[in-house]
A = this chain, B = another copy of it.
């Protein structure tokens, strides 16, 4: 069972544990500052497959496989998988996970999809309907570039506010079994549209959604930023992160000390030429399932808010002159000490 606290937050009455998590990443990510926190790093971004899309499917498959191995479980012990990605009709998830033969629920929240998958899984485990659920998301620089922007062969120059799609995937097993790390509360995001139309500046498009959800959660739970070791957004990058902290200040909540962003963490800004940071469904998934979970396990982090954002655009909507609506889903995750 779960129950509402405040206006928009759901408190999980049972302890829903993150029993296992795994992150896999591509070559560039493996050369970045979080290198040692990935379960696997692939030197060949095709992962031995024939297409970038197949390679991205392989990332999801391998992340799920590592998470299962970490929990000492087989696929048939998982009651449902919640998965998504950025590709049209979420084909990375379909082709990456079909061989596991686990009941499948496709999720779409753009780069916030890992949070959506984890929170839905956590709620359904909490309700008693599922015992173990898997959340998986991925992105791949090459499949994303050619779908959303330009063929990579074209070598188009990138804007300084643009972000670099992470080649990576993360997988987490949510479970009714007692665990060291648990999901306590969740807040489902609203679509927030500030009429931003620059598809090369996703950080700006998503920051208002992050401010909306984080403010809602702090208000619903009667807490403030100081109560948390970390308030981690998904892929606002350098531009969006600054905007978020500004917006929160306007809401009279200063989160600058606690805030960080997966898009800022995954690459070195000075050494890796990624402009405004990392992005993609695989960004927050691989950073959370690798680096953050390890810090939670070792007790360096005890009590965090995980609040990935997504930009709900498509090439078609942008070509038709539509705005870029943002969304941000939040999970309160803590050590069960």
Contact = CB atoms under 8 A, between A and B. Distances in A.
Contact of A105 (B3, B80, B120): B120
Interface residues of A, number: 61
A108 B110 contact: no
A162 interface: no
Given A87-B314, A89-B88, A127-B126, A105 B109 contact: yes
Interface in A50-104: 50-51, 53-54, 79-80, 84, 86-91, 94-95, 97-98, 101-104
Contacts of A91: 312-314, 316-317, 322
A128 B97 CA distance: 30
Interface stretch (A19-27, A34-42, A185-193, A223-231): A185-193
A163 to B, nearest CB: 17
Where chain A touches its partner, the secondary structure class is mixed
A89 B120 contact: no
A199 to B, nearest CB: 12
Contacts of A103: 8, 187-190
B110 A107 contact: no
Contacts of A95: 317, 322, 325
Residue of A126, A130, A314 ringed by the most chain B CB atoms within 10 A: A314
Contacts of A90: 108, 312
Interface in A184-239: 187-191, 193
Nearest to A102: B190
B101 A191 contact: yes
19 contacts: A10-B129, A54-B320, A86-B89, A88-B89, A88-B315, A89-B108, A89-B314, A90-B312, A91-B314, A94-B317, A94-B325, A95-B322, A101-B191, A102-B190, A103-B188, A105-B120, A106-B108, A124-B124, A124-B127
* Closest CB pairs A-B (n = 8): A127-B127, A103-B188, A106-B108, A89-B314, A2-B129, A98-B191, A94-B312, A10-B129
Interface of A: 1-4, 8, 10, 13, 50-51, 53-54, 79-80, 84, 86-91, 94-95, 97-98, 101-110, 116, 120, 123-124, 126-131, 147, 187-191, 193, 312-317, 320, 322, 325, 327
